[in-house]
Amino acid sequence: MNIVWWTLLSTQLTIFSVTLFLHRSQAHRAVDFHPVLNHLFRGWLWLTTGISTSEWVAIHRKHHAKCETDDDPHSPHATGILNVFFLGAYLYRKEAKNMETLSKYGKGTPNDWLERKVYRSHTVIGLGLCLALNLALFGVWGLLSWGIQMIWIPLWAAGVINGLGHWWGYRNYESPDKSTNLVPWGLWIGGEELHNNHHGHATSAKFSHRPWEFDIGWMAIRILMVLNLAKVKHVMPSLGWAPGKLECDLHTLEAVIAHRYAVLRQYSRKVMSRTKTAAEAAQVEHMRERLEAIWKSSMKTSEELLLELQQWCEEARTSGIHMLAEFAQLLATMQLKHAKV
């Protein structure tokens, strides 16, 4: 086999093992894979990265729970973009020594004999076997291929996604973190390029949320579904519209809560960015805070939340601010579109 093709194939297999198994399946429970496939993922990750499933999952879940704070294991805004980009692997290893993190956030991950006695205890052996395989295939040139495999995840996952994916790009969702989509087409890093989409709907197995976006990881999941090797547990329903609808109902409330970060993004674009006076800006900011308060009211019933949403829309329509009234009408037409998986 040509060494270039082998290196490309092996690094992409590693990327897919991370995004499909560690990220979407283990960390967020968005998809389940056949037990045999799970073992293949775990074995390949042991050979090419030395990653322990429980450690990776715990650190990633803590990242979501503490995102962009000093407790975030790898936030470029708290730690510095250069530190995350160049020292991402070091930050991972540092957090992996935090027993509180592993205990609190690593629940539900494999803890069988292989995980305890092989993958977690003998990472150097796995990496050594990977080196031996490369040397057996390509002689001394195999050392170069092995070196590329070793830096692949620290560079593209720890550096690019954890670093640039919270620093530069576009946003579909006004999530409370700084996550971004690097490009609309997730081809090179398993679909992880669509990082803001993931933070907007963390438990969705599909990362592409716009018609022009593409998630190669989702394509792989669909192929595995055809082969009866994968079962999707959750995909975020898309946001649809009911033209001509004038009043908010429970379907509207369901859509607004499910797509709250998309709603906030639309509000920023269609309302906040178009204010002309300080008084208008203050009023629309106050209305934004009240809108957010609706889906943060976890102790209220659906009927109570719907009443608050209807009252918000009525105040927006009579506010005297044209774009605020237009947005209230847009809200009333929102509904979820449940696609078959």
Q: Per residue of the chain (341 residues), what is the pLDDT tens digit?
A: 799 999 999 999 999 999 999 999 999 999 999 999 999 999 999 999 999 999 999 999 999 999 999 999 999 999 999 999 999 999 999 999 999 999 999 999 999 999 999 999 999 999 999 999 999 999 999 999 999 999 999 999 999 999 999 999 999 999 999 999 999 999 999 999 999 999 999 999 999 999 999 999 999 999 999 999 999 999 998 888 888 898 999 999 999 999 999 999 999 999 999 999 999 999 999 999 999 999 887 788 999 999 999 999 999 999 999 999 999 999 999 999 876 66
Domain boundary pick from 232, 258, 292? 232
Query: What gap in Å lies between CA 60 and CA 45, rounded to an integer?
Result: 16
> What is the number of helices (H) and of strands (E) in the chain?
16, 6
Positive or negative: CA dihedral 30, 159, 189, 47: negative
SS3 188: coil
Q: Using the 3D structure, point to which of 183, 209, 232 is the last residue of a domain.
A: 232
Question: Within its chain, how far is the Cα of 85 from the centroid?
Answer: 18
Q: Residue 236, by phi and psi: left (phi above 0), alpha (psi -120 to 50) or beta?
A: beta
Domain residue limits at 309: 238-337
214-215 and 334-337 beta bridge pairing: unpaired
Do 48 and 23 fall into the same domain? yes
Same domain, 226 and 81: yes
Neighbours of 211 (CB within 10 A): 8
What is the structure's pLDDT at 192? 98
Question: Both 113 and 98 in a single domain?
Answer: yes
Percent of the chain that is helix, strand, coil (3-state, to 5): 65, 5, 30
Q: Give the number of other CB atoms < 10 A from CB of residue 53.
A: 24
Q: Give the pLDDT of residue 337.
A: 84
The verdict on 173 and 245 lying in the same domain is no
Residue 265 shares a structural domain with residue 328: yes
Q: CA–CA separation, 187 vs 122, rounded Å?
A: 32
**Rounded-to-integer distance, Cα 35 and Cα 258, Å:** 31
Q: What is the pTM of this model?
A: 0.91
Radius of gyration of the chain (CA): 23
For residue 69, give Cα distances in angstroms to 26, 73, 196, 214, 301: 24, 9, 17, 30, 32
Number of C-beta neighbours around residue 71 at 10 A: 14
CA distances from 333 to 238, 239, 246, 257, 287 (A): 14, 10, 7, 14, 19
Total domains in the chain come to 2
Which of 232, 247, 271 is the last residue in one of the domains? 232
Beta bridge partners of 239: 336
Q: Cα separation of 32 and 158, whole Å? A: 24
Torsion of Cα atoms, 180 then 183 then 188 then 191, to 10°: 60
CB 128, CB 146: distance < 8 Å: no
Q: Answer yes or no: do 273 and 192 share one domain.
A: no
What pLDDT shows up at residue 70? 95
Query: 227 and 245: one domain?
Result: no
278-296 vs 322-332: helix crossing angle, rounded to 10? 20
Same domain, 243 and 316: yes
CB of 84 closer than 8 Å to CB of 76:
yes
Alpha carbons 62 and 103: distance in angstroms, whole number: 11
Does residue 50 sit in the same domain as residue 166? yes
